[in-house]
Amino acid sequence: MLLATQTLQCGPQRFNTTKEHQARDSPTAPSVRYSSRVPNLPMKTMTFSRSGVVLILVAGGLAFAQTTAPAPVQATPQTNSSYIDANGTAHVTRIVPVPETISPEAQRVLARPASDAPHPETLAERRSHTDAWQARAGAASKAVYPVNITESTVAGVPARIVTPLEIPTAKRDRVLICVHGGGFNSDSGSLTESIPIANLTQTKVVSVLYRLAPEHPFPAAVDDTVAVYKELLKAYKPQNIALYGTSAGAILTAQTTVRLKQLGLPLPGALGIFSGLGDFSRAGDSMYLYTLNGFSGHLDPPTPDTEYVGSTDVRNPVLSPLFADVHDFPPTLFITSGRDLLLSGTTILHRHFLVADVDAQLVVFEALPHAFWNDVSLSESREAYQIMANFFDSHLGKQPPAA
């Protein structure tokens, strides 16, 4: 029996997107070897307590015996229960097996035990670890999806230019702009989020290495992305450009598009918002439930992201596109997953696009955690890449609707 217990107090409504430092693939995660597969044992118990909600989640199913000393055994709830007290606080126990509805490799990821102890690190340590992980994960991605990668600058902004080994003549007038994830203070996706898409779409991807917080708070990243887009407009028609990103990059995609509309610039032909949000004034429900790994690992309550937000009003429509006019936005693909900490943020922003009559599609993958597609070994990741690529292929090159 592997058991983790955690108590949380209700945090401020504004939240910190830099929770990404606890990412599933982080090189700082503890390394533990497992053997002797033990079926039918509860895998993990997690207890969350906050103002308004006390929630006990029990994730069960596949379990593994540790070769290292096991954690102290605690009583594990064995039944589902629910009680609402006089203050409206919900006391809930749920037993959640590893689902059989996902791939075997994804089941193994969800069944992997992780300590719920905090792993504090300095910003310098975080960036060093994230850069090292991105290099390893990028190499793994490139092995599956061969591409060419060069370092460059566009409009004075550093960028990685990721190109397929061959670009068909019909696709040489297209370009994709990728803005990476990483909590706005590091790079956790400039390679892993661009390599598969360049390969599958047979289209050049400009992966923008925008300025990072806290040295450069909002709107620096937006300004850099706008500068790159304006430069590419000199060589590409807007309907042949797509803008997309994951996590912080998904947020930045929506923010940049709002800013482009404010500037009166022609909008891209398509957007990809992959596990993002559009509201820095309130934390969505899923941020209180899930870590970057889903149910496992350390969970902090949402806190104000002052490093990125700076002194900007959290309801500023560029910072928080949920408060922006998104009418006439281009076709947009939203992707999230059942145990994504940004599940709420993604679906709320998707609804905002639908209300504005935007052609907005939403794909929710079963059970998987935040930005799972950074793990190229999962069949679900390869499916997600193909969905992204098909979307861009089907929407780029079309004439924008008449105003």
| Residue 76 pLDDT | 72
Torsion sign (Cα): 105, 107, 113, 116: positive
The count of other CB atoms within 10 Å of the CB of residue 12 is: 12
The count of other CB atoms within 10 Å of the CB of residue 150 is: 9
* Digit-coded pLDDT (tens) for 241-259: 999 999 999 999 999 999 9
pTM: 0.83
* Digit-coded pLDDT (tens) for 278-318: 999 999 999 988 999 998 888 888 888 999 999 999 999 99
Buried b / exposed e along 211-234 (16+ C-beta atoms within 10 A): ebbeebbbbbbbbbbbbbbebbee
Which segment of 27-36, 177-186, 327-336, 348-357 scores lowest on mean pLDDT? 27-36
The beta-strand segments (E) located in 175-301 are 175-179, 204-208, 241-246, 270-274
| Residue 96 pLDDT | 87
Q: Taking phi first (over 0 means left), then psi (-120 to 50 degrees means alpha), and beta for anything else, what does residue 357 get? A: left
The residues pairing with 56 across neighbouring beta strands, listed in sequence order, are: 47, 93
| Residue 75 pLDDT | 65
Please state at what angle helix 248-262 crosses helix 220-232, rounded to 10 degrees: 70
Q: What is the pLDDT averaged over residues 173-198?
A: 98
- What percentage of the chain carries pLDDT values higher than 70? 80
The beta-strand segments (E) located in 2-89 are 34-50, 53-66, 81-84
Longest dimension (CA), the chain: 67
Q: What is the pLDDT averaged over residues 248-276?
A: 98
Residues in the chain: 403
* Digit-coded pLDDT (tens) for 358-396: 999 999 999 999 999 999 999 999 999 999 999 999 999
| Burial (CB count within 10 angstroms: exposed 0-12, middle 13-18, buried 19+), residue 179 | buried
